[in-house]
Amino acid sequence: MTENLQVITCALFTLVTLPIETLVDSDSCPTVCECSEWKTYTISCFDIDVIPTFPASTDTLWLLETRLKSVPGDVFSNLVNISRM
């Protein structure tokens, strides 16, 4: 009985976590970033030393622990809906 419950819990967990991975298609989420909050168009990037290409519909962008020496002036120009950084 206990074993069956574990299998069910495991299956449910897989069902719950899978859609999060598929929310953002692989080429729109920068590989150095975390897009699990993409339902609110939020991207978090950690420890980056180059600015990746962000999806145009990005609304909130978190850049944490960056090691950027300079930021090209046009990297954010496609983010028409950016509201917070």
Ligand X SMILES: *[C@@H]1O[C@H](CO)[C@@H](O)[C@H](O)[C@H]1NC(C)=O
Give the shortest CB-76-to-ligand X separation in angstroms. 13
Report the alpha-carbon distance of residue 54 to residue 78 in Å, rounded: 8
Q: Are 34 and 44 in contact (CB under 8 A)?
A: yes
81 binding ligand X? (CB under 6 A): yes
83 binding ligand X? (CB under 6 A): no
Q: What angle do CA 57, 63, 68 make, to 5 degrees?
A: 115
The binding track of 23-62 with respect to ligand X, each residue x by CB under 6 A or -, is ---------------------------------xx-----
Residues binding ligand X (CB under 6 A): 56-57, 80-81
